[in-house]
């Protein structure tokens, strides 16, 4: 199964940090560990042929370089393309959401025909694009921090 992964780093890291600093640091410093879980242990849909595997062909991490520059090397080593989303306001707001949505829509029409789009974020702003993906008959998987 061909998958594309989009990580909202700031959202995930800050959510984990509220729960447990050590978990946040593990997420940021050892992304290959949780990537292995996504590839090897995250359940595949029932319609996928027996013996099929998830192939994460696109790995994109969106982060604020002013706040999280120190974590770039870990994601580079894990094969991620890093998209810088610097703060655009005095309150530290970035344009991560719109960057992710535009990239998702671009890949929706890509010739590779990705079967699954994985969004690693607890941001509800992604709901409309997730609905669009489902209308195009693509599997959507959301990994979120801080929800029961």
Q: What is the pLDDT of residues 21-71, one digit of tens each?
A: 999 999 999 999 999 999 999 988 888 888 889 999 999 999 999 999 999
pLDDT of residue 21: 95
Eight-state DSSP code of residue 115: S
Residues 145 and 8: their CA atoms lie apart, in Å, by 11
What is the chain's percent helix, strand, coil content, to nearest 5?
Answer: 45, 20, 35
Beta bridge partners, 56, equal: 3
Q: What is the pLDDT of residues 91-139, one digit of tens each?
A: 778 889 999 999 999 999 999 999 999 999 988 888 999 999 999 999 9
Q: What is the pLDDT of residues 70-95, one digit of tens each?
A: 999 999 999 999 999 988 877 778 88
**Six-digit token string for 147:** 């929800």
**Global confidence as pTM:** 0.93
Distance from the Cα of residue 99 to its chain's centroid: 12
Eight-state DSSP code of residue 71: G
DSSP element (H, E) containing 140: strand 139-143
Q: Does residue 7 carry a pLDDT above 90?
A: yes
Q: Just give the CATH number of 2-143.
A: 3.40.50.1010
Q: Does residue 145 carry a pLDDT above 90?
A: no
**Six-digit token string for 19:** 């729960």
Q: What are phi and psi of 76, to 5 degrees?
A: -60, -45
Residues 125 and 57: their CA atoms lie apart, in Å, by 24
Domain boundaries, the chain: 2-143
Q: Does residue 12 carry a pLDDT above 80?
A: yes
pLDDT of residue 33: 95
Q: Does residue 148 carry a pLDDT above 70?
A: no
């Amino acid at each position: 199964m061909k998958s594309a992964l989009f990580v909202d780093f700031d959202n995930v890291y800050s959510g984990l940090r509220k729960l447990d600093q050590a978990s946040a640091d593990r997420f940021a410093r050892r992304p290959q560990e949780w990537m292995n879980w996504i590839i090897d242990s995250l359940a595949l849909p029932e319609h996928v042929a027996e013996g099929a595997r998830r192939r994460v062909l696109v790995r994109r991490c969106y982060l604020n370089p002013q706040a999280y520059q120190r974590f770039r090397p870990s994601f580079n080593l894990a094969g991620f393309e890093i998209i810088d989303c610097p703060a655009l306001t005095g309150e530290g707001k970035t344009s991560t959401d719109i960057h992710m949505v535009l990239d998702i829509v671009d890949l929706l029409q890509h010739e590779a025909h990705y079967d699954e789009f994985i969004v690693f974020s607890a941001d509800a702003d992604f709901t409309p694009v997730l609905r669009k993906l489902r209308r195009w008959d693509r599997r959507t998987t959301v990994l979120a921090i801080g929800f029961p």
